[in-house]
Amino acid sequence: MSLHFTKEHEWIRVEGDTATVGITDHAQSQLGDIVFAEAPEAGKQLTKGGDAAVVESVKAASDVYAPASGEVVEANPAIADDPSVINTDPEGEGWFFKLRLSNPSELDGLMDEAAYRAWVETL
């Protein structure tokens, strides 16, 4: 298992050739109360850096980008039913979707956890 982070505040946890994607605790705290989330449907092909999901707080809409390319294998139904789980457990139960990676080497350019947390401190 490996965990990576993007500068757009997504996390991606890789186990074998599949990966789970969500937004970071920093991202949810910046957005505030989340009232709507829409994850991509299974079967959708995503490209690294492209639009993957939508998350809306009371105040604003925000895009979630794909941290790596691949096919969506599962969307998290819990975030549609109760989007506030993204506020309460963004890096656990509030995950957005699972991806079958098409090019795992794309992960090389992402930050590890220590680098991400340190970078967020500078924002």
Interface residues toward other proteins, by CB under 8 A: 32-33, 35-36, 38, 54, 56-59, 61, 83
HEC readout, the chain: CEEEECCCCEEEEEECCEEEEEECHHHHHHHCCEEEEECCCCCCEECCCCEEEEEEECCCEEEEECCCCEEEEEECHHHHHCCCHHHHCCCCCCCCEEEEECCHHHHHHCECHHHHHHHHHCC
CB of 69 to other proteins, least distance (A): 22
Q: Which is nearer to other proteins, 33 or 112 (CB)?
A: 33
CB of 92 to other proteins, least distance (A): 20
CB of 54 to other proteins, least distance (A): 8
Q: Which is nearer to other proteins, 17 or 51 (CB)?
A: 51
Q: Which is nearer to other proteins, 42 or 80 (CB)?
A: 80
